[in-house]
Amino acid sequence: MKVRTEARREAIVDAAAELFGELGYQAASMNELARRLGGSKTTLYGYFPSKEALFSAVVRQHATSHMSEAAAELQAGVEDATGLEAALHRFGERMLFVLTNDRRALTVYRMVVGEAGRSELGELFYAAGPSEGIAALARLFSAAMARGWLHKADPKTRALQFLALITAEINARVYQRDPAPLSLARIRAMVGRAVAMFLHGAAARG
């Protein structure tokens, strides 16, 4: 009986990320992945029961792990409105750094956009990452509303609005052929503008 290893699992995910990026989700096959890895489909299915499960692992490792880490930081909570603002800055900076400096993450995002409307890929992507960040932000905003730092509104809607503001200045990069990485200074400036705009509209008055 062959023993599964974490190193082998990561190698499979890395190879799958390359394959998905090269061929797209629909055209990529477990047969081709096994050929490139020099193994068998049986071995692949020992780690991942389906192509969908493998894609979810690719998304988590290469495109949304930053979201999970940023969401985990939010779980610590904040003590006051100033702490809330600082937490939003940290979350946004971590998110934008990956989106603007990690080419593999950009490849995954482009693949999802390209397959949207033709398969379940978008739903798989959402479940494998963004949903976790949205839920964490919604919990943070709900607590902030209860303490009077933000005015009452639907917390999930506020989370979606915040994420839209964070990515507003970089959305065009998905459609550019080879966008250059952004410096940390530019990322911080973008996040600063987004957080200021969000709090201007969502902060409690008075």
pLDDT tens-digit series, residues 12-61: 999 998 898 888 888 899 999 999 999 888 989 999 999 888 988 888 88
3-state SS string over the chain? CCCCCHHHHHHHHHHHHHHHHHHCCCCCCHHHHHHHHCCCHHHHHHHCCCHHHHHHHHHHHHCCHHHHHHHHHHCCCCCCHHHHHHHHHHHHHHHHHHHHHCHHHHHHHHHHHHHCCCCCHHHHHHHHCHHHHHHHHHHHHHHHHHCCCECCCCHHHHHHHHHHHHHCCCHHHHHCCCCCCCCHHHHHHHHHHHHHHHHHHHECCC
pTM above 0.85, yes or no: no
What pLDDT was estimated at residue 3? Answer: 52
Could you tell me the pLDDT band of residue 115, with boundaries at 50, 70 and 90? confident
Q: Where exactly does CATH 1.10.357.10 map onto the chain?
A: 63-202
**CA 150 to chain centroid:** 25
What would the CATH number be for the domain defined by 6-58?
1.10.10.60
Q: What does the alpha-carbon distance between residue 65 and residue 98 come to, in Å, rounded to a whole number?
A: 9
Could you tell me the pLDDT band of residue 191, with boundaries at 50, 70 and 90? very high
What pLDDT was estimated at residue 204? Answer: 79
Mean per-residue pLDDT, 114-134 = 78
Q: What does the alpha-carbon distance between residue 88 and residue 98 come to, in Å, rounded to a whole number?
A: 16
Mean per-residue pLDDT, 85-101 = 91
Please name the fold of domain 63-202.
Answer: Tetracycline Repressor; domain 2 (1.10.357)
Residue of 4 and 181 predicted with greater confidence: 181
**CA 38 to chain centroid:** 30
Q: What does the alpha-carbon distance between residue 136 and residue 159 come to, in Å, rounded to a whole number?
A: 9
- pLDDT for residue 89 is more than 90: yes
What pLDDT was estimated at residue 125? Answer: 79
Q: What is the pLDDT of residues 140-172, one digit of tens each?
A: 999 999 999 999 999 999 999 999 999 999 999
Phi and psi torsions of 127, nearest 5°: -70, -30
- Cα–Cα nearest to 141, from 68, 84, 196, 205: 84
Min mean pLDDT across 1-10, 153-162, 185-194 is at 1-10
Q: What does the alpha-carbon distance between residue 202 and residue 184 come to, in Å, rounded to a whole number?
A: 26
Q: Where exactly does CATH 1.10.10.60 map onto the chain?
A: 6-58
Could you tell me the pLDDT band of residue 1, with boundaries at 50, 70 and 90? very low
- pLDDT for residue 135 is more than 80: yes
What pLDDT was estimated at residue 178? Answer: 86
